[in-house]
Amino acid sequence: MNSPTKPNPLSLGLEAPRRFRAQVVWAHPRTDSLTATVVRTVVEELGLTGIEVDELDLYREQFDASLREADEPDWSNPDKPYSREVMDYAKRANAADVVFFVFPIWWFSLPAILKGYIDRVWNHGLFYGGGRKAKIQKIRWIGLAGESQEFFTKRDYDKLIQHHLNIGIAGFCGVSDSRVDLLYNALGTGVGDAPLHYARFQERAREIARTALDQTLGQEAACT
């Protein structure tokens, strides 16, 4: 006896269940860089779970980081229509449940192209302003720092970066679950076993991706 066929939700007028989605936004001019290696590790780890992954490589997509008049916020009008490019990027970002930013730390901040992406895309009326907030559940910032952890903590550069990204950007856009992970000594200064040193970067990247997903998917399952 044949088992009954399950009805297609679409045939019943129901929406198909939405797949969990992660976006990985990264910035580095070289695809053979350590940053790119960390990105590939994150994307690979995310892919193991079967979720949908949107990788946004700002350099290869030739993202224009310059904010021009079309994308300048109108503080009196949160409904201002921005350029098609910005609206498309904003739609991609807001479709994600979790966003991973991967980048080198330059001048104790973001690379210019990534800062320009935030300026143009995470814009007034789209991610903040007019009572609107980002639809993203959580953000993970993975920064590759050339100097040692001691160098950063001695001068409070780590706290400066964490406050700027977690509070000044994520929190301002309504994302309370935001975390900065700095991978120190990307230049490998004084390292005796370089392969082991950089393997730890990849392992840490896997852990960050895995933990972020485990927590989020676990919370969603508890609500169903």
Domains of the chain listed by start with CATH number: 19-65+80-222 (3.40.50.360)
Left if phi > 0, otherwise alpha if psi is -120 to 50, otherwise beta: which for 181? beta
What is the pLDDT at residue 18? 64
- Three-state SS string across the chain, please? CCCCCCCCHHHHCCCCCCCCEEEEEECCCCCCCHHHHHHHHHHHHHHCCCCEEEEEECCCCCCCCCCCHHHCCCCCCCCCCCCHHHHHHHHHHHCCCEEEEEEECECCECCHHHHHHHHHHCCECCCECCCCCCCCCEEEEEEECCCCHHHHHHCCHHHHHHHHHHHHHHHHHCCCEEEEEEECCCCCCCCCCHHHHHHHHHHHHHHHHHHHHHHHHHHHHHCC
Output the six-digit token pair for 117: 């992406």
Tell me the per-residue pLDDT of 131-179, one tens digit each, with 9 for 90 and over: 999 999 999 999 999 999 999 999 999 999 999 999 999 999 999 999 9
Place of tokens 């730390």: 105
Residue 25 has pLDDT above 90, yes or no: yes
What is the pLDDT at residue 214? 86
Q: Rounded to a whole number, what is the distance in angstroms from the first to the last CA of the chain? A: 33
Tell me the per-residue pLDDT of 174-217, one tens digit each, with 9 for 90 and over: 999 999 999 999 999 999 999 999 999 999 999 999 999 987 66
pTM of the model: 0.89
Sheet of 98-104, strands arranged across: 52-57, 21-26, 98-104, 138-144, 177-183
Look at the alpha carbons of 96, 100, 101, 102 in this order and tell me if their dihedral is positive or negative.
negative
Provide φ and ψ at 123, rounded to 5°: -100, 165
Residue 17 has pLDDT above 70, yes or no: no
More confident residue, 19 or 181: 181
Left if phi > 0, otherwise alpha if psi is -120 to 50, otherwise beta: which for 210? alpha
Q: What's the CA gap between 185 and 148, in Å, rounded?
A: 5
Of the candidates 119, 36, 33, 106, the residue with the CA atom closest to the CA atom of residue 71: 119
Residue 221 has pLDDT above 60, yes or no: no
Instruction: Work out the pLDDT band at 12, boundaries 50, 70, 90.
Output: very low
Tell me the per-residue pLDDT of 63-111, one tens digit each, with 9 for 90 and over: 999 999 999 999 999 999 999 999 999 999 999 999 999 999 999 999 9
